[in-house]
Amino acid sequence: MLLGLRHGIDWDHIAAITDITSSSDNKRHALVLGTLYAVGHAAVIIFLGLGAVILGARLPDWVDTVMQPVVGVTLILLGLYLAFSIVRHGKNVKLRSRWMVLFNILGKTYDWIETKITHKHPHSHFHYPDKFGKSTAFFVGIIHGTGAETPTQLLLFVAAAGAGGSVLGSMLVFTFVIGLILSNFLIITLSILGIAKAEQNRNIYLFLSGITAFFSFTVGIFFLTGHAAFLPAILGG
């Protein structure tokens, strides 16, 4: 249970949850989206954890090697987007999810390629979202569950695989997931309340946007260059 609580406040969870909840102006909708992210992540943990119990296996090392740079690129894009938005809009800047920024870039790239091929005026048939939907939030949770194999998650798989029987191993997995969801729900609630209060004061909101831009860009560089281990482990993981 404690390992699950600890895993729920890792870097990837904090970044993803604040991205998702800040993309909605409605608190109830933001709560639903954040919860779906946590459920998506938990579903992957259950799948991999039970796989460890049955097969005595764990997530291959190459998955984390591939996914770390992907997460790093999205963080860098968010940082650059926020820095540009601060310069352009000042106090009217609006925080956006880095996944929505990525979807926008992919959509615009698709439009540009289509225009070059057809030689027609831009008229996109590709409708990329500007806010998170339920399925998108759930899918992002699945992505993070697959690509962010933290020490506590790895320890769960090893413990589950070596547990005395499939029943005990399965209990370890589900207890870990309960702790994960509880700590994620706490971050979701604090994120919604924090963002709501910050938006009432544009100076504070502008300051937080700048901090977010710097934080996202810096952490993204660490992930992209394969130096994520230099980041401080939250609560000593």
Share the mean pLDDT of the chain. 75
Using only the alpha carbons of the chain, give its radius of gyration: 19
pLDDT of residue 77: 77
| Mean pLDDT on 100-117 | 75
pLDDT of residue 85: 81
Confidence of residue 74 (pLDDT cuts 50, 70, 90): confident
User: Could you tell me if 54 and 169 are in contact, meaning their C-beta atoms sit under 8 angstroms apart?
Assistant: no
Confidence of residue 83 (pLDDT cuts 50, 70, 90): confident
Higher pLDDT, 103 or 58: 103
Angle between helices 27-55 and 151-161 (to 10 degrees): 40
pLDDT of residue 91: 74
pTM over cut 0.75: no
| Mean pLDDT on 148-154 | 55
pLDDT value at 72 more than 60: yes
User: Could you tell me if 171 and 46 are in contact, meaning their C-beta atoms sit under 8 angstroms apart?
Assistant: no
pLDDT value at 46 more than 90: no
Higher pLDDT, 172 or 200: 172
Instruction: State the virtual CA torsion across 228, 229, 234, 235 in degrees, nearest 10.
Output: 170
pLDDT value at 128 more than 50: no
